[in-house]
Amino acid sequence: MVSGRIFPIYRLRSEHLRLGTPREKAMPPIYLDPAPRSYPDFVHVLGRANRGESAAGTTSTFADLEEWLLGDAINEDSMLSLAESIAWRMVAAGLSVVRATIHVGTLHPQLTGFGWSWNKADGLCDEIVVKAISAQSEAYLRSPLRVAIEEGRSLYLNASDLETQTLYPVIAELAEQGIKHYAVLAMPKRIGAKRHDVVTIATAEQGGFSIQQQTQLNRVLKYLALHVHRQTSRRIAENLLNVYLGHNAGKQVLEGSISRGDGNAIEAVIWIADMRGFTELTEKYSGPQVNRILNGFFEQLVGAVTGNGGDVLKFLGDGVLAVFPFQCADTAARAAKSAMAAADEAMKNLQAYNANPCEDVRSLNGWTPIRCGIAMHIGEVFFGNVGGQDRLDFTVIGSAVNEASRLEALTKRVMRPVVMSQEVGDLLEIPLDDIGRHELKGIVQPVRVFAPKHWKSTAIEA
């Protein structure tokens, strides 16, 4: 590992957390870890900083630290950089900190928040993401973090106190590591936030944090909170835009493409999937029950698309509209390969789901396996804002989208679950069946259609 760098360890295959290029290009290198850290299953490492003591800059006193927080700290370009800097600057200011963390909540359907964990022993600062399931874990429920996050109470804990160790099991673990005093400090709430962001600081000094040091820490915390709020507000905005618009659309909106007509023409593989028998489902089940089925269906497709570098743009009732832009994949062939990989994965996901659906769906009276059709086409589309003055949508429009939709409808007629136009087929190096030229509604010339040989009629056929 090279000293003095900030770099990714790996990325999650989901949302924030989306891989913007085909899988073989999307995953950053996984570096050998000279200081392996153990995290619960619901925690994933997103990145790591390793600048060491140089991150302290010129700080040598608490006055220097406060001056930095009121000035140059605004130039820190990420929370990872900020977290590492504040930890080393506290050490440089004379505070015997051996471990420090920052925990912030977020708005995301799958995540509860992000964190930054610094340890003086290895000199590293990790950026982590925490799944929503953590809120039900015993580790969280019996942690002083819960008290600070949910109640806004700050705690200064003696790690040697047996009663404290019994109340909070994590304190016993810290004591075994030589920690003597553990501060869990709740920051002022962000506007609109339901919970508090939290900083934890640990020392191995026998006397713990003095009253003077506690006062200094409380002052520093107020200044730090301003930067944390600024950084996390942008992160939350990114998360929400990515979840509701997709990564590329969310990025463009965040960068200022917010006016009607803003956008650009792109070449892409258009990927459309549609559930079969949706009208029957709406007549057979209640709204909440149909919603359960749709969520199960979409879950199998969305992960396949985003995991292979695509962007999900729309949920069209019971369908999915996605794109695999050439510019993200480098070449048209890579985009087509990624789109085909997404189709394969989506179909396999559906097969596995049909064999073992979630209990909410399996228990529905008369439930039958989900069937699906997928179509792929290539063309130039306009990727941008459309709509009225006060209500805009970020999507793709163009004749290629219409043709892809007509191709998907063709899956019912030809009884093949996956079809594609010749433009896509010509870019793939897999066995294909030529299923002839077909007239498509609204399309002047007949379209030559292909289907992958490995997806014949199946339990999820058209």
What whole-number percentage of the chain has pLDDT above 70?
A: 81
- Residue-wise pLDDT for 127-179, tens only, equals 998 888 888 888 889 999 999 999 999 999 999 999 999 999 999 999 999 99
pLDDT at 15 over 50: no
Helix, strand, coil proportions of the chain in percent (round to 5)? 40, 25, 35
Mean per-residue pLDDT of the chain: 81
Q: In the predicted model, what is the mean pLDDT of residues 228-249?
A: 66
**Closest to 114 (Cα-Cα) out of 42, 184, 7:** 42
- Residue-wise pLDDT for 265-324, tens only, equals 778 899 999 998 887 878 888 888 888 888 888 889 998 998 898 988 888 778 899 989
Q: What is the DSSP letter of 214?
A: H
Q: In the predicted model, what is the mean pLDDT of residues 204-218?
A: 89
Could you give the maximum distance between any two Cα atoms of the chain, in Å? 83
CATH architecture assigned to 6-244: 2-Layer Sandwich (3.30)
b/e map 252-274, b = 16+ CB within 10 Å: bbbeebeeeeebeebebbbbbbb
Which range has the worst mean pLDDT, 3-7, 96-100, 347-351? 3-7
Gap between the Cα atoms of 8 and 426, Å rounded: 36
Domain with CATH 3.30.70.1230 in the chain: 247-452
Gap between the Cα atoms of 119 and 127, Å rounded: 12
Q: In the predicted model, what is the mean pLDDT of residues 381-408?
A: 74
**Is residue 129 a contact partner of residue 10, using CB atoms and an 8 Å limit?**
no
pLDDT at 378 over 70: yes
Domain covering 247-452 assigned CATH 3.40.1160.10 in the classification? no
b/e map 387-398, b = 16+ CB within 10 Å: eeeeebebbbeb
The H or E element that residue 114 is part of is strand 111-119
Domain with CATH 3.30.450.40 in the chain: 6-244
Task: Report the alpha-carbon angle 147-180-144, nearest 5.
Answer: 10
| pLDDT for position 158 | 94
| pLDDT for position 53 | 92
**Closest to 369 (Cα-Cα) out of 360, 379, 357:** 357
Name every residue whose Cβ is closer than 8 Å to that of residue 61 and which is 6 or more positions away in sequence.
Answer: 93, 94
- Residue-wise pLDDT for 412-443, tens only, equals 889 999 999 999 999 999 999 999 999 888 77
